[in-house]
């Protein structure tokens, strides 16, 4: 579901260890939420979310989705980020800047959309958890667009 993860000038590749501490091990020194937030924005810049989405109540196999994030930056407001994403959804193929809330569940970022209006696409609600590890990065979550909703999941890969 293209408008869901609308999650965007690349700062170069960043390893999983640079964004989040290894699962199960506390960081060697306490880290500020600001440094964690800046590392997340750097990590997401120049990536693509490639995966699938489902539609509740349909027996069809999951459909392919891809979101290209050219830039992500931390905004001054608490938990707010601006992501510039290329979204393909129906007849729409546009790059749009989106101000999104990203909350934290432990060391996992959760992209949080609450009645977010996306130009040309409509209003969406979503929760998308990101998991970054040495084995790679993945996303999974739920989405809602009016009365239609479902699940989404896939990999987060660096742009070539």
pLDDT tens, position by position, 77-107: 999 999 999 987 777 888 999 999 999 999 9
Question: What is the domain partition of the chain in residue ranges?
Answer: 33-158
* 33-158 CATH choice from 2.60.40, 1.10.3470, 3.40.50, 2.40.128: 2.40.128
* Alpha-carbon gap, residue 14 to 16, rounded angstroms: 7
**132 contacts 36 by C-beta, under 8 angstroms:** no
The SS3 assignment for 129 reads strand
**23 contacts 134 by C-beta, under 8 angstroms:** no
Whether pTM exceeds 0.85: no
Number of H helices, E strands in the chain: 2, 8
pLDDT at 54: 97
Report the sign of the C-alpha dihedral through residues 60, 63, 51, 127, in that order. negative
The SS3 assignment for 64 reads strand
**32 contacts 118 by C-beta, under 8 angstroms:** no
* Alpha-carbon gap, residue 5 to 143, rounded angstroms: 9
């Amino acid at each position: 579901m293209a408008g869901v993860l609308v999650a965007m000038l690349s700062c170069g590749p960043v390893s999983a260890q640079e964004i989040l501490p290894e699962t199960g091990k506390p960081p060697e020194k306490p880290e500020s939420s600001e440094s964690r937030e800046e590392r997340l924005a750097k990590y997401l810049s120049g990536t693509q979310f490639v995966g699938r989405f489902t539609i509740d109540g349909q027996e069809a196999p999951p459909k392919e989705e891809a979101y290209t994030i050219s830039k992500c930056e931390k905004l001054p407001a608490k938990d707010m980020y601006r992501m510039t994403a290329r979204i393909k959804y129906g007849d729409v193929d546009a790059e749009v800047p989106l101000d999104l809330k990203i909350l934290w569940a432990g060391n996992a970022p959760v992209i949080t959309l609450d009645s977010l209006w996306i130009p040309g696409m409509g209003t969406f609600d979503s929760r998308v958890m990101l998991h970054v590890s040495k084995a790679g990065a993945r996303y999974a979550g739920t989405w809602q667009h009016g009365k239609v909703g479902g699940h989404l999941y896939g990999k987060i890969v660096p742009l070539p």
